[in-house]
Structure formats: C-alpha cells, structure tokens
Structure 1
C-alpha cells in the first residue's frame, strides 16, 4: 500500500535537522517545500504500487501495449478495434496457450474468442464401416468442420472503456484464427446455423 502525502511530509519533517534555518511552522516556505516534495514522493509511490498490477497481463492497462509487443500481438486476424478486455485476453491466451490439434483445443480456442462452436471430424468409409455411415473417400480423414450459430454476437464487457461498441457481430475472426492455427495437412470447413 502506498504512503500518503501526509505520511511523506511527516517523514521529511522528521528527517530535517533541528534549527532556526528549517522552521517547523506550517506556513513557512520550508514547510511548503517539504509538502510539495511529499506530494511528489506520494505520486511516485502510488505509481510503484500500480506497477505491480501492470506486471500481470490480466490487469495491465498502461503496459498493455508492451505486453502486446512481447507476445507479437495484435493478431493478424483482428480487423478493426478490439476492446481492452479482448486485448488482455489475447495476451494471456498467447502466454498460457500450449497449442494443440484436438477437438477440445479448437472448441476452447473458439470459446476464448467468444464463440460457441463444436468440432466434427470425419473418417473414410472402409470395408468394416457401418452401412449407415456416409460414403467418404480417403481424403475425408484430413477434413473437419467447425459448427457454430448463424449469428455470433460478442457483447460489451464491464472491463471495457466508454468508446467501445456495445456489441459486435460476425465470424471472420473465428475463421481466420482457426485457419491460421489448424494443422497444416488438414482442411477446415465452417458451417453456421446447423449446430
């Protein structure tokens, strides 16, 4: 917890040597100078306190651009403005993400981006396959589908700022991020409204 201006004034006052050159009367020039210096120390101490919050990307405000620079953000898939909360979430996602190629990884990635999707993968039809299964060739084993709602809406977050939109629509960001992070040998398909 940061010390207050009064705390610093008392400390400076106690450190001053006794004597007539440095009077103790609150209306003197010396005491007003101590009061001004105490204010500067209190501001500096307060900023040092907030630096602890800035060291955590989940609570960063002033150092958020530095966190983004370190993590290689903004994501090339992001078009337009992002909310402060979305920017912080992206930094945390890059720092804590381990990557993956499973259904749960891509469903979790979409959830982190604000989308509710399911992932469906396919198998090729073989001699031992059930006759009720669709006839798919061997290339279908490399295809998978991301299924989501027809309209995806991301709403304003309480951590946002006053100049942010109350809601945004669209799936372009989801498609770009998943297409960029999918395994290179696979083909991803997107289907909306069929969830």
Structure 2
C-alpha cells in the first residue's frame, strides 16, 4: 500500500475523499513520506562503513582519514577498507599481525625475526647480540603494483607503483621498542 492510500485510510469518515484539494494535499504529504522512507533506507546502508558510499567522506573525517601514509592514489574500495580497518583494528605486536596489516594495505610480505648468536650456532650464522631481538625484517617485492578496478573513481590512476605506503603504514604501528628493517627483492 502506498503512503497516499494509507493517508486516505486515516481520514475520519465524514470527509469527502474525492475532492481535488484534499486529494492534492494527501498526495503531497505522501510524497514527503515516500522521500523520508527512501532516506531511511539509505541511512541503513550508509550507517555501515562496509557499505557506505555517499557518507564515506564523513566516515573518513570521524576516523582521522585520509592517512598521510597512504597518500594520493587510493581507490574508493581502499578508502572504504581503511575506514573499516580503523574501526575494527585491535592491534598486535607479532610478525603475523604485521603480515595481515600489510595485506590490508595491498602488499604481500613476510617478516624475519633475528636470533641471538650462541656458541652452538654454525660458523656461517650471523653474529647478533641481544639488541637484534628487537628488530624485524619486512621482506617484500621491489615494486608493488596496484591496478585500477571497477570500484575505483575516475580520479584513480590506472596503476600505482611503489612501497612508500607500506613502509609508512608499518612504521606507524611498529612497537615502540622495535625496529623495522625493509628488504626488497
């Protein structure tokens, strides 16, 4: 049933519902209710950062985005993913967390942890002291390429190269006592 029909049913019995003026008023009120219902449906979609489109700039403002580490050249899907990541992030100080963090930024990495040298190690093993326990080596490809997709807006370049986003993003979340070393092959 339409809003116009519902409004007509709400009218008390003595009114003549066939009059032009009353019909025009009820139709006008019904259009306002239809518009309000449409906006309510849109708000349900926009209230969820995973499905937002029109309110993405508002979500970015609330979550402190755009991130200076990510710079220009982010697709719409990447921007929305960053909002979701900021809201749902729990953090961590493990190599696995940093591999996942890099993956959310669009990079494939591995993390190497260093072991302190002992007298039981082979002669070829690196001689590392206790301070190396605080260092992790992030291994990635020399140039990471991200391609334009159908979810991107018209201002997104067709391809973006580089690993600057990776370094900036991981350093931001690195443990305060740790050091990240980046190795590219």
TM-score by length of 2: 0.88
Counting only pairs closer than 5 Å after superposition, residues 66-85 of structure 1 correspond to structure 2 as 66-85=58-77
Is 2:73–2:160's contact at 8 Å kept on the other side of the alignment? Answer: no
Is 1:117–1:147's contact at 8 Å kept on the other side of the alignment? Answer: yes
| Worse overlay, 132-141 or 54-63 | 132-141
Is 2:102–2:166's contact at 8 Å kept on the other side of the alignment? Answer: yes
Alpha-carbon displacement from aligned partner over 1:18-53 (angstroms, at most 9, x marks no partner): 556x5426xx24323322221221111011012111
Which stretches in structure 2 are left out of the alignment for 5+ residues?
A: none
Tell me the equivalent position of 1:170.
162
| Cα deviation, residue 83, structure 1 | 2.3
Is 2:45–2:51's contact at 8 Å kept on the other side of the alignment? Answer: yes
Tell me the equivalent position of 1:59.
51
Q: Give the count of matched residue pairs.
A: 185
Which residue of the other structure, out of 90, 94, 97, is the alignment partner of 1:102?
Answer: 94
TM-score by length of 1: 0.84
Which stretches in structure 1 are left out of the alignment for 5+ residues?
A: 1-5
Is 1:85–1:157's contact at 8 Å kept on the other side of the alignment? Answer: no
| Cα deviation, residue 137, structure 1 | 3.6
**Matched position secondary structure for 2:2:** helix
Alpha-carbon displacement from aligned partner over 1:85-131 (angstroms, at most 9, x marks no partner): 11211121122211111111000000000001111121222212233
Which residue of the other structure, out of 10, 14, 29, is the alignment partner of 2:9?
Answer: 14
Choose between structure 1 and 2 for higher RCO, CA contacts under 8 A separated by at least 6 residues. Answer: 2
CA RMSD of aligned residues (A): 2.1
